[in-house]
Structure formats: structure tokens, C-alpha cells
Amino acid sequence: MRAQRGGEAEQGGQAGQGGQAGQAEEEKPGRRRWGPLRRIDYPRRGRRGVRRWLPSWRQLLLTTGLGMAALTALMGWFYATTEVPEDLNAFATQQNNVYYWADGTEMARIGETNRQEVPLGQVPESVQWAVLSAENETFYSDPGVSVSGIGRAVYEMATGGDTQGGSTITQQYVKNIYLNQRQDVSRKLSEMVIAVKLGQRMSKQDILAGYLNTSWFGRGSYGIERAAAAYYGKDVSQLDPSEGAFLAALLKGAGQYDPALSADNHDRAVERWSWILDRMVTTGKLSAAERARYTVFPEPRTPPKAAGLSGQIGYLVDLSRSFVESHSDITPAQFDLGGYQIRTTFDKAKVNALAAAVQEATKGLDPDNREADKLLKVGAASVTLDGRIVALYGGPDYRKQGFNNANASTVPMGSAFTPLVYAAGLDQGVQRRRGGNRTPVTPGTTYDGDNGVNVMTPEGPYWGRDGKIVKTANDGKRNWGQVSLRSAVEQSVNGPMMQLGMDVGLDKVQQTAAALGLLPDSMGELVPAFGVGNSTPSPIRAADAFAAFAAGGSHTDPYSVLGVTRNGAPVDLRLPTAVQALPAAVAADVDTALKGAVRGGSAQALAAAGPGLAAKPGTTPDRTAGWTVGYNGQLSTAVTVFRADLKDMKLLSLEGVGGAAPDTLDSELPGRVWASFMKTAGQ
């Protein structure tokens, strides 16, 4: 037995020696493990292939522990070094927003920040709980931060999602009074740490009061007291739970929930208002019986017009602000804080000249005694060839009519649209056989100019939804015989333009119109009437599209602001750049036809306004709109006249406006405005 054990022992010793030899072979010079790796056995000895590199559970546990320790140390350091700032985002230093004319002189100074503090005791408890139910129902029990909310917010920021989620009331208050509105991980961590420290210094009541007094509610209002006045014309103490629920909805983003801004906003506001009331019931802050009393949305009042915006100034300011908000990183809330200087593109002399031209052309109207003169609207805009809006006429007075006729996409352009069809034909050619090659057309290509000609497709006549063949319709039902395309534009012969649109392809015409700046939501239905103007571009967009014909086919989207600064520091502003929308030769051919219309065609009445004019009048078959659009080589101007009740925007007939004879063209009145303005502005 001893011998056997000895043998076994001897064999074991040999095995051990072999193992040492194997280890020595594995760790020969040049392949030795680094000291710490030797201790944690990584890569793992005795394993082959992938398993050699897969860590054990002990190694994973150790790595996780070390990572957690490092993260804890980092957070501890961040917490220790992050101080509650001494300086607030001082409202006392806020300024007006100042708008300037293009020449640098002051145009308008829009009021100071609308803010007024109130003690929490003046805010009804139901209103307080409406806010808390919407924003942070655990406010009175949480430590000032929500760990799960922070996790969600960081994840959303990392994945490009909604960066607003995850903040408690305390965190939002910290952001309001101490931090900027930038959304990134560093700012979010600072917000979290300051919120915890602030929660140790202030009572929950003081934090809630501060939050309600510093939050933005839209309409220039900071704080719930001014919000109550802006939306309901009352003191905050007079708000009921339903009104409070609506104001709480605004905290999610007043630009998205103010019902006065759009129909979509109204739908969102109603949905969130209802949800907040239901949430108050769930949290036990509103009884089901009281909730049942609030089934009708508490419609806020119409926003009052700001002082100092009378005449055309309000339209100019609104358009400029809208441009800045859509072409910079300035939010509506930041804009309402003030301190911005906005240099606009508007020329004071030209704005005044356009208003004077409208007043002169419409002085014979008698809406009190003539039915046809009631509800008459005029919209006009003048744009340089590089897209600068130098003048507009939005209505008689911004404080009486906030709706801007110059920027409204509600009125069909009628036959003033046909130069765009002409441009599309010259640029893209026609396709009269389905699947066939496209054939070029020239200004001299002839079409049947008679009235009542069948509108054709490659397969045959175009049948309308009424079961009848669609036919062309010229002004006065006049027959022109065979006419060239150029003559059709010059003389405003609609039939050839309608057929040309069909031959080019209405989708191709639409592409040309889009390249010239017409917006998608203003494009008409792709039926034969598309070629003769069922689209509804604003006068600004119409003038800008025609500018490309004078600019050799180069097009720049219209813009109303040259630059923005805040306290002397420039703000990044994304200005539009020029693109080649049409070949220069095509633009020159359209320009020739438009100048021919003034020399001896349908726009001949405008010739006295100056040399080198190019223009196209426009009418609609139902006589609901009149247009004149054209340029003088420097400015492109569009004028439209229509009748409509602004409550429903239903268009009414223009027949008999100003006592005109029934057969008077509806483009006559806008033509007078256009000629009067261009005669003055072109000098």
C-alpha cells in the first residue's frame, strides 16, 4: 500500500511539474501578464478559444463593483462641487424686443415682460393641484428629483427624443431661475443636484410659489397671475378648477397649446385639459361629482392686440417674429423674455407708399350703402429679386384686423398663375402620348385659343366628376383661333394655358411652382383648373415667384429679417439662399411675354406706371378674386382683392365692387393699386 501511495505521490509530483512546465511555456518572456491581470486571471488560464476571453461571474461582479464605485465617486464629486448659484436669471434686466426698419431706424418697441408675483395663498388649491397633477403629483413627497424620470430624460436625450420629460417641479423651478434652457446631460445633472440642495433650503410651498411665478404660459406672460389675466381677464384667485386645468396644460408648451394659434392647438388643449381634470380625480384632488360639472372646455379670450402696433406695423412685427422663430434657435418663451434687436427687411417709405396706393384705389368704395363693397379685403406684398420683403399691406389696421391678407394662403391666384405653367412647358416640354417621349415647346408653339374647347389627355377628353367633358373657358368667352403660347400669356387667353398644363403634366407644373417658392399647402387640386390658378399662394409668395423671371431664373425664398442681436451679441439666423429654379433662357422667355402683356396685351393699362414693366392680371371663373402680379426689374409686387368674412373665409363674388359694370374685369382694382405703388416705388 505504501508503495502504491508512493507511486501515486510520485506520479502526482510529476504531474505538478508538468503543470508548472505548461505554465512556464504559456507565460514565456514577451507574453507575461500584466500584474493586475495575473491576479484576476484574465485572459483566463486553462480555457481555449472564445471561452478564454469570456470573463467569469466573479470577474463581472468585480468589474461592475469597480464601475459603480467610480460612478458613485464621480457623482459625489459632482454633488460636492456644484453650488446653488447666487445670481438668478434676473427678470429685472429684461428688455423690450426692438424692431428696426431696413435702414436701421427704430420701427417698434414691443412691451416688457408681462410678469407679476403672487403669494401661493392667492392661488386656489384646485389650481395648484391641477398643476401638480399635470406636472409632478409626488411633489410633496419626492426629494426634489425623480431618479426614474432623470433616467428617462437622459435616455431620451441620448436617443434624440423629448428632452423635456423627467423633471420635477423643483427641477423646473431651478431651470427657470438659475439655468439656461439648453437640453444636454451636463445641464440636466446640474439641474438635479441644485434641485436636491435647494429642496434642503426651501419649503415645498416656497418652491411651488416660485415655480408658478416664474413659468412661461405664452402670450408674453410669465407667472400664473399674468396668465390668468392674459387668457381669462381675471385675477388668479378667481380661477376655477377647469380654468386652472387649462393653464396647467400650457406648461407643457404654450406654443403648442394656446387655442388661439391654430385648430391643432385647440384640439391638443382640449385633450390635455380633459386629461388633467381626470388626473385630479385619480389623485384624489377633485371629486367625481365636481369633475362632472366641467364638461365644456373653458375657451380663453382672444389675445388683445399689443399697443404700438397700429396700421401696418403689427403685420410687419408678426411676420418678422415668425421668421426669427422658424429660422433660429430662439424659442417663443425666450422671445417673450425680451432683449432682442431685430433688423427687418422692410423699407418704411415703400410700406407707406403701398398703404397709400391701397387707400387711393379704394376711396370710392361705399360699404354702408353698396352691398358689393362690404367685406372687401386687399392684400399686397413687394419683394426684391433676392427675396427681401420690402413692403406689405396686411389690412386696414392690425389692431382692427389681425389677419394678415399679405401672408394668407386662402385666395385662388386665377389666371395670374399661367406664367408658371408657361415656364413649366418651356422648361420640361410636353408629353401628349402616355409613355411617349417629351417634346419641347417654344414661345411660338401654337394652341387652339377658342372658347369651349375640349380639354384633352393622352387617352382622350378629360371627364369631370359631374360626368361631363371639361372645356376651356376664356375671359368673355372670346374665341382667339390658333395662338402662340407667348401670345396666350400676353393676351391672357386661358384655354391654351389649361391645355398646356395637361400636356406638360400637372405634377410637373406643380414641381415648377414649388421650385419658384409656392408652398405645398397652397397648391390646388391636380385637375385641369390647376393650370389656370386653383392654387392659393399668398401675395408674398406670388411676388417672390415672379421675381425669378426677372432674376434669370434664380429664386430665393422670401424673408423679412436681415439679422438679430441680443444685448449686442449676434444671434445665428438661417437666411435663405438663392437656387436656380429655371434655366436662364426659360426665365427670359417668360419675362418677354410679361413685358409684352404691358406693352400691348392684357396688362396694357399698367404701362403708365413706368418703363420696363412686366405684369400679369389674374381673375377666377367664379369671380371671387382679382390679382395683379409683376415687376419692374427691381421689385416684384403682387396685389390681390377679394371679399370674405374672416370668420369662415368663404369667398364672395366681386361683381359690382365700387359700382363697376358687370363685365368689368376683377383685376381692375388690384391693377390700380399695383400701378400706383410701382410708379412711386420704382423711382
The reported pLDDT for the residue numbered 627 is 97
Is residue 176 over pLDDT 80?
no
% of residues, the chain, pLDDT over 90: 63
Is residue 44 over pLDDT 90?
no
- For the chain, give the mean pLDDT: 86
Q: What is the DSSP code string of 614-648?
A: EEEEEE-TTS-EEEEEEE-SSEEEEEEEEEE-TTT
Count of residues making up the chain: 683
Q: What is the DSSP letter of 601?
A: S
Is residue 169 over pLDDT 70?
yes
Mean pLDDT of all residues in 197-225: 85
The region, left, alpha or beta by phi > 0 then psi within -120 to 50, assigned to residue 284 is left
- Alpha helices by DSSP H, listed for 168-259, are 169-177, 185-201, 204-214, 224-232, 241-250, 254-257
Weakest-pLDDT range from 65-79, 219-233, 539-553, 575-589: 65-79
**Dihedral in degrees, nearest 10, Cα atoms 210, 215, 220, 224:** -60
Instruction: Name which residue leads in pLDDT, 177 or 609.
Output: 609
The reported pLDDT for the residue numbered 110 is 84
- The band of 22, judged by pLDDT with boundaries at 50, 70 and 90, is very low
Is residue 390 over pLDDT 70?
yes
- The band of 92, judged by pLDDT with boundaries at 50, 70 and 90, is very low
The reported pLDDT for the residue numbered 657 is 93
Is residue 101 over pLDDT 80?
yes
- Segment 115-149, tens digit of pLDDT: 677 899 999 999 999 999 999 998 998 877 776 66
What is the distance of C-alpha 463 from the center of its chain? 38
- The band of 417, judged by pLDDT with boundaries at 50, 70 and 90, is very high
Residue 409 and residue 566 in contact, taking contact as beta carbons nearer than 8 Å: no
Spatial CB neighbours of 243, under 8 Å, sequence gap ≥ 6: 127, 228, 231, 232, 298
The SS3 call for residue 74 is helix
Mean pLDDT of all residues in 59-79: 66
The reported pLDDT for the residue numbered 88 is 45
Residue 490 and residue 602 in contact, taking contact as beta carbons nearer than 8 Å: yes
Closest of 392, 395, 393 to residue 376, by C-alpha: 395
Q: Which residues pair with 627 in a beta bridge?
A: 618, 640
Is residue 457 over pLDDT 90?
yes
- The band of 227, judged by pLDDT with boundaries at 50, 70 and 90, is very high
The reported pLDDT for the residue numbered 336 is 82
Is residue 89 over pLDDT 70?
no
Q: How far lies 449's CA from each of 418, 460, 493, 494, 603, in Å?
A: 14, 19, 7, 8, 19
Is residue 654 over pLDDT 70?
yes
Instruction: Name which residue leads in pLDDT, 5 or 71.
Output: 71
- Alpha helices by DSSP H, listed for 82-219, are 125-135, 147-159, 169-177, 185-201, 204-214
Q: Where are the domains of the chain?
A: 28-81, 112-291
Is residue 6 over pLDDT 60?
no
Gap between the Cα atoms of 424 and 429, Å rounded: 7
- Segment 309-325, tens digit of pLDDT: 889 999 999 999 999 99
Closest of 505, 502, 525 to residue 453, by C-alpha: 502
Is residue 43 over pLDDT 80?
no
Weakest-pLDDT range from 42-56, 152-166, 272-286: 152-166
- The band of 113, judged by pLDDT with boundaries at 50, 70 and 90, is low
Residue 82, Cβ density class (10 Å: 0-12 exposed, 13-18 middle, ≥19 buried): middle
Residue 178 and residue 85 in contact, taking contact as beta carbons nearer than 8 Å: yes
The reported pLDDT for the residue numbered 158 is 54
Closest of 315, 322, 399 to residue 355, by C-alpha: 315
The reported pLDDT for the residue numbered 84 is 47
The reported pLDDT for the residue numbered 80 is 53
Residue 631, Cβ density class (10 Å: 0-12 exposed, 13-18 middle, ≥19 buried): buried
Pairing of strands 114-115, 221-222: parallel
Is residue 1 over pLDDT 70?
no
Spatial CB neighbours of 399, under 8 Å, sequence gap ≥ 6: 305, 309, 310, 314
Is residue 425 over pLDDT 80?
yes
- Segment 230-258, tens digit of pLDDT: 999 999 999 999 999 999 999 999 989 99
- The band of 163, judged by pLDDT with boundaries at 50, 70 and 90, is very low
- Segment 533-583, tens digit of pLDDT: 999 999 999 999 999 999 999 999 999 999 999 877 899 999 999 999 999
Q: What share of the chain is helix, strand, coil (3-state, %, to 5)?
A: 50, 15, 40
Is residue 56 over pLDDT 80?
no
Residue with cell 393699362: 605
Is residue 427 over pLDDT 80?
yes
- Segment 250-305, tens digit of pLDDT: 999 998 999 999 999 999 999 999 999 999 999 999 999 999 999 999 999 988 76
Is residue 186 over pLDDT 90?
no
The end-to-end CA distance of the chain, in Å, is 127
- Segment 638-651, tens digit of pLDDT: 999 999 988 888 99
The reported pLDDT for the residue numbered 491 is 97
Weakest-pLDDT range from 74-78, 351-355, 480-484, 665-669: 74-78
Gap between the Cα atoms of 540 and 354, Å rounded: 14
Is residue 379 over pLDDT 90?
yes
- The band of 162, judged by pLDDT with boundaries at 50, 70 and 90, is very low
- The domain 112-291 is placed in CATH, from the list 3.40.1190.20, 1.10.3810.10, 3.10.129.10, 1.10.3720.10, at 1.10.3810.10
Is residue 60 over pLDDT 50?
yes
